[in-house]
Amino acid sequence: MFKKILIANRGEIACRVAATCARLAIKTVAVYSDADANAKHVSACDEAVHIGGSAPKDSYLQWQRILAAAKATGAQAVHPGYGFLSENEEFAQACADAGLVFIGPPPSAIKAMGLKAESKQLMEKAGVPLVPGYHGADQDLVLLKKEATRIGYPVLIKASAGGGGKGMRAVDKADDFDAALASCKREAINSFGEDAVLIEKYVQRPRHIEIQVFGDTHGNCVYLFERDCSVQRRHQKVLEEAPAPGMTQTMREQMGAAAVAAAKAVNYVGAGTVEFIVQQGDDGRMDFYFMEMNTRLQVEHPVTEAITGLDLVEWQLRVASGEPLPCKQQDLRIHGHAIEARICAENPDNNFLPATGSLQVYRKPACTAFERSSLRIDDGVRQGDAISPFYDSMVAKLIVHGDTREQALARMDEALSHTHIVGLATNVQFLRYVVKSPSFAQANLDTALIPREQAVLFKQEPLGLNVAVAACVAHAVHSEQAEHLPPPRSSPGRGGSQTHTTWTDPFARRDGFRPFGVAQRRFAFEFHGDKVEATLSYLHDGALHLQVGEGAQQTVGSLQFAAKGDALDVQFAQQRHTAFLYQKGPTAHVFTAQGATQIIVIDLLAHASASTAQTGRLTAPMPGKVVSFAVKAGDAVKAGQALAVMEAMKMEHTIAAPKDGTVAELMYAPGDQVTEGAELLKLAA
Ligand code: ADP
Ligand code: ADP
Ligand code: MG
């Protein structure tokens, strides 16, 4: 076995590989770019070598520098992770030429599977079933169109060099073919530097089921069962699970045998994935066709680890160091059910636009919440880290395991509900909606699941106004109590017989007033663009009474809360929630088991905004761009009035006046980039 390896990757996969190495007492060398100087993967390894600028082409794709780093540190082997150089046969060959072991398949196998068209020709010879289509070398336009007609519309045009869901165009009818082909070729040239295409029958409502295979240098090859990755957006995986629901033992054996045949056809060594597209007939019949082989460890490999109890990175290391596979096919078993969710920095409600920003809050579910091994979190970031535009938008992977799919589903929902991220848009809430959608819950899986369930997946509000307001008010009152300010008591009246008044008189707050016997405080919020006022009354007996909204819209009732760890158990209007609250500038982020929401605290909540009011500072709640100012120096403004608009995380945010005053100075101009906490304008009393 190796004594030291270099990990030629970053993020969660670099951390993942380092974890197995640490367990096996193999020393690790990290490589890092400028942007990753303080990244988690650097500290996860024993040594680290800086290899260049932030853009991948200046660092993680600079293979000469990576090889030099391996040489300089005395590493014996290189683990490429996934993405970057993992499927680059020149790099694999260069490692061998430099006397380093490439922890992956031989360069010839990477090359054979690298182009979709060529690999299909090989698979055809090996007797692996293919989607009806054309994958010839002749790229004549007239011929391609004729082939499309022969195959029958709808068809899918795919860039042969494509990957990551890019370079694909579905075409419904012959009239659209030319335009789709041209656009596919343009994207292919831009993304992959070559524009050869293949054409496939477009399978309706297909499932994506892939088989994990493993080969060694002794001629053994096994399959580690299947993963269902049908839940996709933009042809990219969102949720993956194993085993595939509805898979029969016969079909599993057939698919396993086809995958092993595919691997053997290219003398495969190490971890690989054979992806199949599965056509579901009305009679429940499932036909599977080879789609492509990914010659590396896959993002979703943990679900296979969860159901087999194996460590695939350990297998990779063993195979690469020349050992035979640790098991034979007949020793492999499936235990229970596992699901992985990819948490990405993106905005599902805005066509999954990737988001960047910093993880101001990154709170993970406690792995001890369940018995060990039922929840696993793979990530490459820590609270405070940035999700930069340079790399993938994946923040973390949550992997749950249960005896049954139902149990795994419940655990996934629970784990997602305890994942709190503030600072950038993520798909956490969206993933919860997917997990709970009828299709996913009933395992009615296919690649059209997301569009089919859109009514319950997009533009939802998991928490109502009352929950959000009650959480904010309870947290404000609680944080005051925590700072040893006794709660205001009902006073017997001005000049009454109050004796113990050693503390600052809360009745003197500028936002409180007290009719006889009751102290009241007013709060103002903005929720989904609507202004809402709330009044909190402190009753004689110390109880709290809350009124949210006015007139016909109002909700009134007693407000109760009790501390529960970092959260508060809040009860208001027949609803009880354990609410976590993180306030960043004027925005409060509320997380409960039901979901998360944001509410803007316009008025004087607790101390944070009190100090804003005192100093007249108005700061950017997050890094972003100033879009416009609604005011100019010298303008008189009223509390709650919109002052400026910022754009961050691809969304616009309005900055409102915390109190009445006069604008003293604008500190930026529209279009300026600002960091979090930057003072946007000065307000004088
Ligand atoms: P597929 O290509 O079939 O979608 P995967 O689901 O395994 O296969 O996705 C691999 C993709 O992950 C790569 O193509 C790349 O876009 C992305 N990626 C590469 N490196 C990293 C990384 N360090 N962290 C997160 N994602 C990465
Ligand atoms: P990539 O290299 O980008 O991963 P794939 O060939 O693996 O490309 O296809 C990605 C996804 O596109 C599949 O998981 C599936 O959802 C969809 N897809 C691919 N081929 C077809 C097809 N013939 N019919 C319908 N959908 C397909
Ligand atoms: Mg694929």
- Give 471-481 pLDDT, tens digit per residue: 999 998 898 77
Q: Ligand 1 center to residue 86 CA distance, Å?
A: 10
The confidence band for 617, taking pLDDT boundaries of 50, 70 and 90, is: low
Query: Is 436 among the domain residues?
Result: yes
pLDDT at 17 > cutoff 90: yes
Does 118 or 504 have the greater pLDDT score?
118
Answer yes or no: is 110 within a domain: no
**Cβ atoms 563, 478 nearer than 8 A:** yes
**Same domain membership, residue 582 and residue 559:** yes
DSSP 82: S
Structural domain ending residue among the three candidates 178, 201, 224: 201
Last residue of a domain, one of 287, 310, 335: 335
**pLDDT value of residue 54:** 94
Residue 514 has pLDDT above 50, yes or no: no
Which residue's CA is minimally distant from atom 9 of ligand 1?
A: 299
**Mean pLDDT across the chain, nearest whole number?**
90
Q: Which of 422, 449, 421, 446 is nearest to 436 (CA)?
A: 449
Per cent of the chain over pLDDT 90 is 75
Q: Is the CB of 12 under 6 A from ligand 1?
A: yes
- How would residue 500 be classed by pLDDT, with cut points 50, 70 and 90? very low
- What is the percentage of the chain residues whose pLDDT exceeds 70? 91
Do 190 and 213 belong to one domain?
A: no
Are residues 517 and 584 part of one domain?
Answer: yes
pLDDT digits (tens, 9 = 90+) for 118-131: 999 999 999 999 99
> Hey, whose CA ends up nearest to atom 20 of ligand 1?
83
585 or 161, greater pLDDT:
161
Which atom of ligand 1 is closest in space to residue 240's alpha carbon?
A: 6
Q: Do residues 256 and 236 share a domain?
A: yes
| Cα 170 to ligand 2 centre (Å) | 10
Whole-angstrom Cα distance, residue 155 to residue 149?
9
Q: Which residues contact 58 (CB under 8 A, 6 or more apart)?
A: 33, 52
442 assigned to some structural domain: yes
Interval 75-95 mean pLDDT: 97
Cα of 376 to ligand 1 centre, how many Å?
19
Phi, psi of 158 (to 5 degrees): -125, 140
Residue 626 has pLDDT above 50, yes or no: yes
pLDDT band at residue 615 using 50, 70 and 90 as cut-offs:
very low
Quick check: CB of 237 below 6 Å from ligand 1?
yes
Residue 12 CA: nearest ligand 1 atom is 24
Please work out whether the CB of residue 592 comes within 6 Å of at least one atom of ligand 1: no
Q: Is 200 in the pocket of ligand 2 (CB under 6 A)?
A: yes
Predicted pLDDT at 506: 39
Residues 470 and 590 in one domain: yes
The answer to the question of residue 507 being in a domain is no
Shared-domain flag, residues 393 and 309: no
Question: Domain with 182 in it: what CATH number?
Answer: 3.30.1490.20
- Last residue of one domain, picked from the residues 183, 201, 219: 201
Give the mean pLDDT of 151-168.
92
Least confident of 42-56, 74-88, 559-573, 631-645: 631-645
In three-state secondary structure terms, 106 is coil
From the CA of 289, give the closest atom in ligand 2: 23
CB 447 less than 6 A from any atom of ligand 2: yes
Rounded to the nearest whole angstrom, what is the distance from the C-alpha of residue 276 to the centroid of ligand 3?
9
If you measure from the C-alpha of residue 507 to the centroid of ligand 2, how many angstroms do you get, rounded to a whole number?
A: 65
- Binding site membership of 167 for ligand 2 (Cβ less than 6 Å): no
Q: Quick check: is 120 in a domain?
A: no
Are residue 327 and residue 383 in the same domain, yes or no? no
Q: Quick one: which ligand is closest to 447's CA?
A: 2
Ligand 2 proximity of 202 Cβ (cutoff 6 Å): yes
What is the pLDDT at residue 163?
85
What distances in angstroms separate CA 449 from CA 237, 247, 440, 573, one per listed residue? 12, 18, 8, 36
**Does the structure show a pLDDT above 70 at 496?**
no
Average pLDDT over residues 316-330: 98
Q: Which ligand is nearest to the CA of 165?
A: 2
- Separation of 536 CA from ligand 3 center, angstroms? 56
Q: Are 419 and 365 in contact (CB under 8 A)?
A: yes
Tell me, yes or no, whether 519 lies in a domain. Answer: yes
Does the pLDDT at position 511 exceed 70? no
Tell me, using a 6 A CB cutoff, whether residue 199 lines ligand 2: no
Q: Which atom of ligand 2 is nearest to the CA of 133?
A: 23
Average pLDDT value for residue range 313-342: 98
For residue 177, what are its two tokens? Answer: 């073919």
Output the domain CATH number for residue 577: 3.30.700
Ligand 3 centroid distance, CA of 164 (Å): 7
Question: Residues 361, 423: contact at Cβ < 8 Å?
Answer: yes
User: Please, which pLDDT band fits residue 652 given cuts at 50, 70 and 90?
Assistant: low
**CA 570 to ligand 1 center in whole angstroms:** 41
Check which CATH number belongs to the domain holding 625 and give it. Answer: 2.40.50.100
What's the CATH number where 218 sits? 3.30.470.20
Domain harbouring 94, CATH code: 3.40.50.20
Report CA-CA distances (Å) from 494 to 19, 513, 515, 606: 66, 12, 10, 24
Q: For 169-183, 451-465, 519-533, which range has the lowest pLDDT when averaged over its residues?
A: 519-533
Q: Given ligand 2 and candidates 87, 131, 192, 291, which is best to mutate, with the most ligand atoms within 8 Å of its CB?
A: 291
Q: Is the CB of 84 under 6 A from ligand 1?
A: yes
Instruction: In whole angstroms, give the CA distance from residue 9 to residue 516.
Output: 67
Give residue 484's pLDDT. Answer: 54
Is the pLDDT score of 228 beyond 50? yes
For a ligand 1 pocket test, name from 392, 393, 397 the mutation site with the most ligand atoms within 8 angstroms of its C-beta.
392
pLDDT digits (tens, 9 = 90+) for 554-596: 999 999 999 999 999 999 999 999 999 998 888 999 999 999 9
Q: What is the pLDDT of residues 519-549, one digit of tens each?
A: 788 889 999 989 999 999 988 788 999 999 9
Q: Is residue 521 part of a domain?
A: yes
One domain for residues 454 and 476? no
Q: Are residues 370 and 432 in the same domain?
A: yes
Range of the domain at 185: 132-201
Please give the Cα distance from 107 to 401 (Å, whole number): 35
Question: Are 531 and 657 in the same domain?
Answer: no
pLDDT band at 190 (very low <50, low <70, confident <90, very high): confident
Task: Give how many domains the chain has, as a whole number.
Answer: 6
Q: How confident is the model at residue 623 (pLDDT cuts 50, 70, 90)?
A: confident
Say how far apart CA 161 and CA 658 lie, in whole Å: 55
Q: Answer whether residue 299 shows pLDDT above 90.
A: yes
d(CA 289, CA 22): 39
Task: State phi, psi for 552 to the nearest 5 degrees.
Answer: -65, -25
Residues forming the active site: 296
- Pick the residue whose CA is nearest to atom 15 on ligand 1: 83
Q: Both 478 and 596 in a single domain?
A: yes
Ligand 1 pocket mutation pick from 82, 119, 210, 292 by most atoms within 8 angstroms of CB: 82
Instruction: Report which protein residue has its CA nearest ligand 2's atom 11.
Output: 235
- 240 alpha carbon, closest ligand: 1
> Residue 573 corresponds to which tokens in the numbers above?
């209007």
- Residue-wise pLDDT for 398-441, tens only, equals 999 999 999 999 999 999 999 999 999 999 999 999 999 999 99
State phi, psi for 185 to the nearest 5 degrees: -65, -40
Amino acid, single-letter form, for residue 560: Q
> H/E/C letters for each residue in 57-78?
HHCCCCHHHHHHHHHHHCCCEE
- pLDDT (0 to 100) of residue 480: 77
User: Is the residue at 108 inside a domain?
Assistant: no
304-310 average pLDDT score: 96
Q: 624 pLDDT band (50/70/90 cuts)?
A: confident
Mutational test site, ligand 1, from 299, 390, 393, max ligand atoms within 8 Å of CB: 299
409 shares a domain with 320: no
Q: What is the pLDDT of residue 509?
A: 42
